[in-house]
């Protein structure tokens, strides 16, 4: 990783089912929004206030694009997509790769960004750019759909910061990321 990327740090704030799914196979999030409603804001507003920009993948953008109330408190939103039109939504900036998004954020002087979406989070983790993970487990098993985690190129060591049980039974845990992926020991 280039030294210029070292100053950009990412934080993750995601809701997922107890079985680790972040959406249904068709992208539906009703299981999260309906059950998560009892938890209220769940700390999302102060979290967004702590970041300077948002980075997400196309699928995550598609899931929230039609929302009447844009939840990002005026923060610039960067979407990684090879298919979205660059001028299709004035609320976002489209990048053709995660590397291009990171370069643009660096040029803009952004130091702490919110990363959302499974593939995008995995790329940032594998690149060693994530400092913090806040995961809110919704009390439901949905059985199928994309997961947050997948191959990372090695172990990512975490340190527990806090866990809270929110209204509605949602369990929110925050971890500090201690370093990028370290290869597993040789057999």
Q: Classify residue 52 by burial, with Cβ atoms within 10 Å: 0-12, 13-18, 19+.
A: middle
Residue 182 belongs to some domain of the structure: no
Residue 184 belongs to some domain of the structure: no
| Residues 155-162: contacts with CB under 8 Å, at least 24 apart | 155/181, 155/182, 155/184, 156/125, 156/130, 156/180, 156/181, 156/182, 157/182, 158/133, 161/132
pTM of the model: 0.89
More confident residue, 46 or 68: 46
CATH of residue 84's domain is 3.40.430.10
Please report the pLDDT score of residue 4 as a whole number.
Answer: 42
Residue 186 belongs to some domain of the structure: no
Residue 183 belongs to some domain of the structure: no
Please report the pLDDT score of residue 69 as a whole number.
Answer: 85
Task: Provide the number of structural domains found in the chain.
Answer: 1
pLDDT at 137 over 80: yes
pLDDT at 37 over 80: no
User: By residue range, what is the domain housing residue 161?
Assistant: 3-177
């Amino acid at each position: 990783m280039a030294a210029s990327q070292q100053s950009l740090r990412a934080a993750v704030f995601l809701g997922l089912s107890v079985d680790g799914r972040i959406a249904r196979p068709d992208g539906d999030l009703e299981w999260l929004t309906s059950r998560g409603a009892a938890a209220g804001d769940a700390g999302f507003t102060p979290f967004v206030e702590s970041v300077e920009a948002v980075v997400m993948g196309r699928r995550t953008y598609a899931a929230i694009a039609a929302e009447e109330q844009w939840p990002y408190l005026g923060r610039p939103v960067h979407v990684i997509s090879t298919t979205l039109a660059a001028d299709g939504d004035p609320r976002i900036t489209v990048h053709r790769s995660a590397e291009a998004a990171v370069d643009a954020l660096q040029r803009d002087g952004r130091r702490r960004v919110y990363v959302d979406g499974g593939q995008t989070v995995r790329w940032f983790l594998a690149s060693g750019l994530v400092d913090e993970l806040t995961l809110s487990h919704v009390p439901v098993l949905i059985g199928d759909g994309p997961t947050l985690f997948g191959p990372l190129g090695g172990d990512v060591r975490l340190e527990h910061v806090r866990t809270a049980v929110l209204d509605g039974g949602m369990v929110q845990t925050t971890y500090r990321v201690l370093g990028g992926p370290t290869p597993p020991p040789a057999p």
